[in-house]
């Protein structure tokens, strides 16, 4: 079942590249910050590129927190957070020292690499994922598949059962999470060729 897919527009995401990728998969989507559209949606995508603190401020300004909590936590509507969109699902971030949505027991912390010549920050480019548990989001995706990353902060989950993927960048960090209907990926599926398309397709087909 596909139904209505809404990409949340709060001024912080590479929204149109996601919409373009969905269109290539023959999936219609709506870019919106309207409460009515979010309530009517069958699936929600929360994108994000930029500063955590500014993103939370935008969500508050648009009065989106309550409607997202209602649809995701109470109505159990599937949601996919991409990059900053996944980080916003955590309790708190070092970036801005502000609270997130609090859906996942996790913090967002800055990379603290030791070998700075080898491991540049932001972490940019292709890297492998290690699949930690079975999930419909990973259907047909081989372990150690490569995805495209761009980020300076990373997710630190406090409950191991929430971790869907890990990635090694000097040390292991959480690159995807899942708790019930809540999915998040630190990488950019819309920039990750065939495996990225498959992640989006799997989410839409939930």
Asked if 16 is an active-site residue, the reply is no
Catalytic pick from 95, 123, 151, 190?
A: 190
Count of C-beta atoms within a 10 Å radius of residue 43:
22
188 is catalytic: yes
Measure CA 152 to chain center.
15
DSSP letter, residue 102: -
Helix 15-24 / helix 193-204 crossing angle, nearest 10 deg: 80
**Residue 118 Cα distances to 144, 148, 169, angstroms:** 21, 18, 10
Q: Which residue in 71, 83, 123, 151 is the catalytic one? A: 83
**Distance separating alpha carbons of residues 93 and 101, to the nearest angstrom:** 11
Structure tokens at 133: 């548990």
Taking the C-alpha atoms of residue 111 and residue 79, their distance in angstroms, rounded to an integer, is 26
Candidate list 35, 154, 188, 197, residue with the active-site label: 188
Structure tokens belonging to residue 15: 């929204």
Query: In whole angstroms, what is the distance from residue 193 CA to residue 117 CA?
Result: 28
Q: Give me the residue label for tokens 């699949």.
A: 131
Looking at 41-167, list the stretches that DSSP marks H as alpha helix, in order from N- to C-terminal side: 52-61, 65-69, 84-87
Q: Which residues are catalytic?
A: 83, 188, 190
């Amino acid at each position: 079942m596909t139904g209505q897919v809404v990409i949340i527009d709060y001024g912080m995401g590479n929204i149109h590249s996601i919409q373009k990728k969905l269109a290539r998969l023959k999936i219609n989507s709506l870019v919106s910050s309207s409460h009515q559209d979010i309530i009517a949606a069958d699936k929600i995508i929360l994108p994000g590129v930029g500063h955590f603190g500014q993103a939370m401020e935008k969500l508050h300004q648009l009065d989106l927190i309550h409607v997202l909590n209602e649809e995701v936590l109470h109505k159990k509507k599937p949601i996919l957070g991409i990059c900053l969109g996944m980080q916003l699902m955590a309790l708190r971030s070092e970036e801005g020292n502000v609270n997130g949505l609090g859906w996942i027991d996790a913090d967002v912390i800055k990379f603290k690499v030791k070998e700075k010549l080898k491991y540049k920050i932001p972490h940019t480019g292709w890297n492998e994922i290690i699949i930690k548990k079975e999930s419909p989001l990973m259907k047909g995706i081989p372990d150690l598949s490569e995805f495209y990353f761009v980020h300076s902060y990373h997710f630190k989950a406090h409950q191991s059962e929430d971790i869907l993927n890990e990635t090694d960048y000097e040390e292991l960090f959480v690159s995807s999470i899942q708790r019930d209907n809540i999915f998040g990926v630190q990488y950019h599926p819309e920039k990750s060729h065939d495996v990225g398309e498959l992640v989006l397709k799997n989410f839409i087909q939930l």
